[in-house]
Structure 1
Amino acid sequence: MAKILVVDDEADLETLIKQKFRKEIRAQEYEFFFAENGKIALEKLQNQPDMDIVMSDINMPEMDGLTLLSKINEMSPLIKSVIVSAYGDMENIRTAMNRGAFDFITKPIDFKDLTLTMQKTLKHAQHLRETLQAIKENNILKMYVDESVLNFMGNREYESKLMANETIDGTVAFIDICGFTAISETAPPDTVVRMINTFFDAMVQEIMNQEGYIDKFIGDAIMAVFRGEYHLDRALDAALAVCTKINNLPPLEGAENFKPQVSIGIKSGEMVCGNIGSASLKRLDYTVIGDTVNTAARFQDASKPNQIIISEECYHQVKESFKCEKVGSISLKNKANPVTIYQVLE
């Protein structure tokens, strides 16, 4: 059951919400909580730390919605917030987004739009919780993958699967935030971390929408892997969506002059998939390696801002579905001959 906290000083909103979502409440799909200002909302969040989303007005007594947003981010970044306010000017929207709002709805409330926004926000919150759980489990395995712990888990079949290595067919995408290194050298650490987390979160959403998974974060870049049916097409759809999403992000507080852009390299083919790392250190990453991965990284190095680079082989696979343009030939490390590359336009 999804837990939703509605924060608004309008007394009749609680009644209206309960009426509009009475079927979902009876079916135990949603459980609503209500608070008349940000101060009371924080008290409820302390009592209900597993809250999924918060829908908050801006103008309220004691503590306004924008202050509440900042407090929620400090308390739990897993709780996603949606601003529901009559103040729909760009200044308020930008301030809300800079303080961590996932979305913004203006009053009077269109309940059809509100329902769709709630569903989208809940789906994103669930993805975050699942990802966090997977990271926790993976980090534990990285630290303690040895015979004693695997025996403790009492599942030899699990052990064999965990340690299995295989060759897979898939697509790798390297996505780098252009120019971020320069700003990271001048901006305060808190600003740098907040910025890169905002950019990564926006990129991860689009990758997950295309059923890709994050293999690793490398500095200010993401390595994503796509497997299964139409993995190359899904990787390109994700890359195009990432470019659009990053280009449309509002300026972030503390870095108003920085306009983020991404450069992307993509390669499809066979890869070795397995636990790579140090047995002595007991740190193993379940990752992919091989020429496909290395080439994708080189393509990213060669790409310009807002440019998605693919190989000629990939171009022939997708040319009927995507508009591409030949860039030319480049020399790659450990490649005897120049490689022809294309850029994906749309």
Structure 2
Amino acid sequence: MRSAPLLRGLFAATLALVAATAGISLGNAQAPAPEQSPTVAKVGARIITQAEVERRLASMPPFQLRYFGKTTEEIRKKFVEEAIVREALLAEGGEAEHLRDLPEVGERIRGVLRNALLAQIRAEASAQGPVTDEEVRAYYDKHQDKYHAPARIALWRILVASREEALEIIAQVKGDLSPKRWNEIARDKSLDKTNNMRGGNLGFVEPDGKTSDPNVKVDPALVQAAEKVKDSELVPEPVQEGSQWAVVWRRQSMKAVDRPLELEAPSIRQVLMHERTEQRVKDLVAELRKKHLGELHPELVELLAINSSGDVAPVRRPGTVPSARRPAAGSPAPTQAPGDLR
């Protein structure tokens, strides 16, 4: 009898191919019933109709069809024998071996159904009509920060109490202007304890002192001072911030962004169509959850660990010796071979 692994591979490949070429109807259109189209072949309970063959042939690019022959008659005959009938026979063999009951095959079948349903949802979202110009304009106006932004400078700052102390730090880092040395000094001396552990990194700062963090705004004088030096250069003089003084390192910069609606409209249409589809999926999942979700025990996944490489394994109990360090069971006692020295 054929080996189970071979049949599993064939059945999985058949499922994938059938799912890719079955042309699952989207909307209300349905494939012709067997009685509406002549029967070309019958494999087990599966009836292959003329309409199915025509649909399958039409879905294939011309360069692939040329593999099946030079004339129309040769292509049709060989395609039915080597593609459609072959697939049906392999699927029938998989059914005979009850491969549908295998967990991995069941997961593949569920994946095919899942993808078919998502394809139907996408088609329905498209059938709803194209994204209008008004919707595009509304999205553009709502997300102005994505398409318009002033020039920004990434700043690292060490904040101290006096100008003299700031000058001392400038003298120290001039001889070794490296992130490592800067971070050491920032952790030790910066008065801004909200970011001294990360080198006083303020992120990108706008001309008015705004940062990417809505809760953090700095004195615009920092930006004005940094504008006088190039990226990766140290501001040579301390910058006053209220009653304190800052040592400023300009790390990098970003040019101003000004992208007009005409340029962004195509990508906005894609985003809105994606959002429309995702909303349909969320609504459907919520509905299906109410109907079909019987049990859910998320706490059980705490027994699984995922390492940095993405490998999944059961969590080891405290005190368990890793398998690589466990002594081999039943290690034989050393024996004396003939001729060994005593």
TM-score higher than 0.5: no
TM value normalised by structure 1: 0.20
User: Computing the radius of gyration over CA atoms, which structure comes out larger, 1 or 2?
Assistant: 2
Q: Scaled by the length of structure 2, what TM-score is found?
A: 0.21
Structure with the bigger RCO (C-alpha within 8 Å, sep 6+) is 2
More strand by share: 1
Query: Higher helix share goes to which structure?
Result: 2
